[in-house]
A and B are shown apart, each in its own frame.
Chain A
């Protein structure tokens, strides 16, 4: 019989090994799932994880897509990881992403058709502020009324989606769009667009921001006292208070930062790859980023790698849909499974598995 025994000190080895193990297990379970759907499991796994990068036929198109998909995931997940580490659960990044995009796009469109260097930077600020303010709603309700931030931030996603629809149909609708929903395309408005910086790389300002966020967070967590306070609060809230951490300030900082980064991700997306505010502008990055954050073990470098991997499943999923007729939802289930396995094998970091007699417990 199996028995779990707490380790005196969390295992370093396993904390690195568990994400890898989880990915492997997910591939196996995913393969079984794909087989049940009547697809060749090996071909499906290869199509998802290998072909987007190395298949001669597709790689030229899909390689740049890797950064395009991973960028927002990494940016959002970095923000979320700060809160998750402190036990502050912002799970409404999807909503903050939408509001950031709306605010940023609105600022850009307000200047249309003016051409000035400051328009895009203003949009960036507006996007970050929009996400930040949207995240401040659950944060302030938590600090002032002790309202559960998980539920509020999540419910606000649905509110944001309705706002998005209202904007696409109303205030931000393209006056020259023939009555179709959706705003003007920002890609065609140079002063407000977020172009590809290096041809065929997929690199845009959002990716740059994501890399900056990774480095800044790494330094924050490992070298700065604020990072220490964030980790301490997550480990042991009472010890944090004893150490002099102000919990209210910490909630506002963590929620605010994650909201701002999600808002930025939305802004870079709407002014770049997506181009316009439309009813179905959001694609669930805010939720997938939760998986990315955990898969990266809430560690900035880990999140960078996890974001790339998760971005790959997006492109690979598209490819598998196109090549093998694998339903898009299979990838969604696959991603959910990954998080399950990760949380499951995580037990190995803190516990040792013993084979032995059953305890009378």
Chain B
């Protein structure tokens, strides 16, 4: 079998970091090839080079036997390379057809394009209405827009960057069916992921990256998930451990909470109810954009809830803002590290003060006690192994994992009675993720009631006592996490939404 795409010795360095170091591999036509690696292993830089967004410093690419040096994405697309991005490539206010036209070199007239979109979406079982505004679509539907945008160009190589992070398990199955169909038709697929089971079920070959270097090649079907994990991380990881699961009394109760979304493309919370006991970890899963941010805001006090909807030990706290809630030990750590949980350009001292002002007694009569704030910041840095030259450094200078440790550590050290975290390990390397999960478990062990909102189902299954899922602003009834099957979880997350029907027809 001759190869479709060959990479030889690709190298790309940024100041202070070599993103890719002498990376080589081959993809055959029709092959589904996995690019496996942790966050920061250099997967994104590599595919950006293939897609013409970044120029390699060294090395050579060959596509179909010819030298391949795309100067820009347009050139890559013209050569038959298409890419489905994880983020950042759709326009909310534009229609599906307009979004697709923007990704094409010579789009047909809008009317013809709409017809072709319908046709392709039927063929591959990805139903889509070309006239809908993208901002109104679910995460899964938005991904379909991207996929169809690629398919309309008859690509020879389709790059998919973490495609399943926005899908329910049922939707993942449907996507895989589409990808297998494409592969059977001769389209090669470069599949980027850190989810090992997926790769084992889908891919024909895998290249494993660690710290910018190729550290292994294999046929993933012949390896176990833990073997793959070890190749990816470089050492065996010990999963977080938990001693006992005795819950105390009910601490937090949310009943029939509904909050309409303040902006047109946001999600409204609808009739959310839950109870949380001391020492319990409630995992809340769901596809991105189904009300996770909104739920966190309602619990942290950033969004005020209707009277009586949120109670702590039976006392109504619905109308309290973030500061009074912190005062009674209800703490939160939002998903977006830079710009929500922390101010990017402010120092770690100032960021420690940001939520710690009240509980850590960092001000007196409104005057800030900077030495105390500094001591608190240093305590976090030390206690949570945050790698930074010092507390005076700006938050944005930290790596994702280190900043996340800081953000979680900041709340954990304030002795919360209730802690709500959203995506605690998103974009964080494996060792930092393990440390963060362990600290959450330890916190619960000591009697804190914890809500972990996450899109990483493995993570939730690993640490939660009970599991519930958000779907279009509604929360499913929480159930014990132990013994839940992946199908049951998928159904709680909304199943395949409207996709099954389409497949029956196809």
Query: Do any beta carbons of A and B sit within 8 angstroms of each other in the complex?
Result: yes
B334 at the interface (CB under 8 A from A): yes
Contact call B368/A236, Cβ cutoff below 8 A: no
Contact call A232/B343, Cβ cutoff below 8 A: yes
Question: Which of B47-55, B220-228, B486-494 forms part of the interface with chain A?
Answer: B47-55
Contacts of A246 in B (CB 8 A): 321
Contact call B340/A242, Cβ cutoff below 8 A: yes
Contact A357-B341, Cβ < 8 Å, known A8-B396, A242-B300, A242-B355:
no
Contact call B55/A225, Cβ cutoff below 8 A: no
Q: How many whole Å from A220's CB to the nearest CB in chain B?
A: 10
Contact A228-B54, Cβ < 8 Å, known A9-B394, A238-B340, A239-B342:
no
Contact A360-B54, Cβ < 8 Å, known A225-B357, A239-B339, A239-B340:
yes
Question: Which of B98-106, B155-163, B346-354 forms part of the interface with chain A?
Answer: B346-354
The answer, among A5, A8, A243, for a CB contact under 8 Å with B394, is: A8
What string of 1s and 0s marks CB contacts (under 8 Å) between B64-103 and chain A?
0000001110000000000000000000000000000000
Contacts of B55 in A (CB 8 A): 357, 359-360
Query: How many Å lie between the Cα of A241 and that of B334 in the bound state?
Result: 12
What string of 1s and 0s marks CB contacts (under 8 Å) between B311-350 and chain A?
0000000000111001000001010100111111110001
In this complex, what residue of A is CB-closest to B370? A223
Contact call A225/B52, Cβ cutoff below 8 A: no
In this complex, what residue of B is CB-closest to A239? B343
B264 at the interface (CB under 8 A from A): no
A224 at the interface (CB under 8 A from B): yes
A40 at the interface (CB under 8 A from B): no
Query: How many Å lie between the Cα of A308 and that of B393 in the bound state?
Result: 33
Contacts of A360 in B (CB 8 A): 52-55, 70-72
Q: How many whole Å from B148's CB to the nearest CB in chain A?
A: 26
Query: How many Å lie between the Cα of A360 and that of B343 in the bound state?
Result: 31
Q: How many whole Å from B20's CB to the nearest CB in chain A?
A: 15
B60 at the interface (CB under 8 A from A): no
Contact call A10/B72, Cβ cutoff below 8 A: no
B301 at the interface (CB under 8 A from A): yes
A115 at the interface (CB under 8 A from B): no
Contacts of A225 in B (CB 8 A): 357, 363, 366-368
Contacts of B321 in A (CB 8 A): 244, 246
In this complex, what residue of B is CB-closest to A9? B394
B371 at the interface (CB under 8 A from A): no
Q: How many whole Å from A304's CB to the nearest CB in chain B?
A: 22
Contact call A244/B54, Cβ cutoff below 8 A: no
Q: How many B residues, CB 8 Å from partner? A: 40
A2 at the interface (CB under 8 A from B): no
- In the complex, which of the residues A226, A242, A360 has the most CB atoms of chain B within 10 Å of its own CB atom? A242
Q: How many whole Å from B310's CB to the nearest CB in chain A?
A: 16
A-B contact count (CB 8 A): 84
Contact call B353/A228, Cβ cutoff below 8 A: yes
Contacts of A357 in B (CB 8 A): 55
In this complex, what residue of B is CB-closest to A246? B321
Query: How many Å lie between the Cα of A239 and that of B344 in the bound state?
Result: 9
Q: How many whole Å from B380's CB to the nearest CB in chain A?
A: 16
Contact call B366/A226, Cβ cutoff below 8 A: yes
The residues in A between 190 and 237 inclusive whose CB is less than 8 angstroms from any CB of B are: 223-226, 228, 231-232, 235-236
Contacts of A10 in B (CB 8 A): 345, 394
A361 at the interface (CB under 8 A from B): yes
Contact call A224/B345, Cβ cutoff below 8 A: no
* Number of chain A interface residues as a range: 20 to 34
Contact call A238/B346, Cβ cutoff below 8 A: no
Q: How many whole Å from A229's CB to the nearest CB in chain B?
A: 10
In this complex, what residue of B is CB-closest to A360? B55
The residues in A between 300 and 353 inclusive whose CB is less than 8 angstroms from any CB of B are: none
Contact call B336/A243, Cβ cutoff below 8 A: no
Query: How many Å lie between the Cα of A361 and that of B340 in the bound state?
Result: 28
In this complex, what residue of B is CB-closest to A354? B15
What string of 1s and 0s marks CB contacts (under 8 Å) between B1-35 and chain A?
00000000000000100000000000000000000
In this complex, what residue of A is CB-closest to B326? A244
The answer, among A9, A232, A359, for a CB contact under 8 Å with B354, is: A232
Q: How many whole Å from B388's CB to the nearest CB in chain A?
A: 10
The residues in B between 449 and 499 inclusive whose CB is less than 8 angstroms from any CB of A are: none
The answer, among B54, B332, B367, B396, for a CB contact under 8 Å with A224, is: B367
- In the complex, which of the residues B53, B326, B340, B354 has the most CB atoms of chain A within 10 Å of its own CB atom? B354
Query: How many Å lie between the Cα of A357 and that of B54 in the bound state?
Result: 12
Contacts of B322 in A (CB 8 A): 241-244
Query: How many Å lie between the Cα of A166 and that of B417 in the bound state?
Result: 63
In this complex, what residue of B is CB-closest to A232? B343
B397 at the interface (CB under 8 A from A): yes
B302 at the interface (CB under 8 A from A): yes
The answer, among A228, A238, A241, for a CB contact under 8 Å with B336, is: A238
Contact call B346/A235, Cβ cutoff below 8 A: yes
The residues in B between 371 and 407 inclusive whose CB is less than 8 angstroms from any CB of A are: 393-394, 396-397
Contacts of B393 in A (CB 8 A): 8-9
Contact call A236/B339, Cβ cutoff below 8 A: yes
The residues in B between 95 and 141 inclusive whose CB is less than 8 angstroms from any CB of A are: none
In this complex, what residue of A is CB-closest to B322? A244
The answer, among B70, B71, B341, B397, for a CB contact under 8 Å with A8, is: B397
Query: How many Å lie between the Cα of A226 and that of B363 in the bound state?
Result: 11
Q: How many whole Å from A244's CB to the nearest CB in chain B?
A: 3
The answer, among A9, A224, A226, A244, for a CB contact under 8 Å with B301, is: A244
A-B contact pairs, 28 of them (CB 8 A): A8-B394, A8-B397, A9-B394, A225-B357, A225-B367, A228-B350, A228-B353, A232-B343, A232-B346, A232-B354, A235-B343, A236-B340, A236-B344, A239-B343, A239-B354, A240-B343, A242-B302, A242-B332, A242-B340, A244-B301, A244-B321, A244-B322, A246-B321, A360-B53, A360-B54, A360-B70, A360-B71, A360-B72
5 additional A-B pairs beyond A10-B394, A244-B326, beta carbons within 8 Å, are A9-B397, A223-B370, A224-B367, A240-B343, A244-B321
The 10 A-B residue pairs with the shortest CB-CB distance, nearest first, are A244-B323, A8-B397, A244-B322, A9-B394, A236-B343, A360-B55, A235-B343, A239-B343, A238-B340, A243-B354
